[in-house]
Structure 1
Amino acid sequence: MKIKILVIVIIVFSLILINGCSPKRELEKQPPEMEGFVKADGEMYELERGGYRWEWKNGTDTAVVTTDHASPNQMAESIKPIHLTSNGRIEIQIEENPELTVFLWNKSEREKEIPLKEKQFLLPAAKGKYIYEVLAKWHEGEVSYTFVAEVH
């Protein structure tokens, strides 16, 4: 009888140890590798990932990772613009359904927030180059994405 109890205790302890060392726990501590996309004119275009802030519990403490990344207007210098039609509908798609906020940037700063309806917005009627930042927020943190629209 004592041997059976000892075997059960060893099995339970082993399962707890294996579960505690599983890679899933480590992944929860890392900032997401969530890809983001813009859907426009029936095509999908990948968003460029910028800076992020991510936090997780580390025992009784909270650990935080914050990156220092180029601003969207600086990133725009090396991003290939997406050629789109004026007044075209843009849909933002990012994994795991984060809360989204979209900002229009000028050459130096955020110019204004773009209202979203069901993760969509309309491009301006005026032709030109527009820099957009998509700020995605999850419970654990946030990630900034950028895309450039060349409106014709």
Structure 2
Amino acid sequence: MVKGDVPTAVAEGSKLKLHFDYQPKKGSLGADIWNNGEAREQNIVNSDTIILPREPGIYIYSVYANWEEGDSSYVLQVEVK
């Protein structure tokens, strides 16, 4: 999904703020974090913030949600320095 993309450099412990023009259905917003080929569920704080890792490395995030009109997912790659 992000093969060939250059990861966005971020500081350890940075916050990733999620913003949508329309609010997703309640309880449908979620995120997974991928590192070294393994995925795990990522907590979303206050319904709009992901705290990025403190350990250096490249991480891939998958953010997904549902709306009345359908669902969508977004993938991004960060490098914690």
Q: Which TM-score applies when normalising by structure 2?
A: 0.82
8 A contact 1:105–1:131 mirrored in 2? yes
Q: Distance in 2 between matches of 1:121 and 1:144?
A: 15
Identity %: 30
Structure 1 match to 2:49: 120
CA offset at residue 77 of structure 1? 0.9
Partner residue, 2:63: 134
Aligned to 1:79: 5
Kindly tell me the number of residue pairs found equivalent between the two proteins: 77
5+ residue gaps, structure 2, are none
Q: For residue 117 of structure 1, what is the amino acid of its counterpart?
A: V
Q: 1:101, 1:114 within 8 Å by CA — same for their partners in 2?
A: yes
CA contact (8 A) 1:79 1:147 kept: no
Letter matched to residue 79 of structure 2: E
Answer 1 or 2: which has greater helix percent.
1
Task: Please say if 1:88 is aligned against 2:14.
Answer: yes
Higher relative contact order (CA 8 A, sep 6+): 2
For 1:115, give the aligned amino acid: N
Larger radius of gyration: 1
- Is contact 2:35–2:58 with CA below 8 Å preserved after alignment? no
Cα distance change, pair 121–133 in 1 and its aligned pair in 2 (3 A): same
- Runs ≥4 residues deviating over 6 A: none
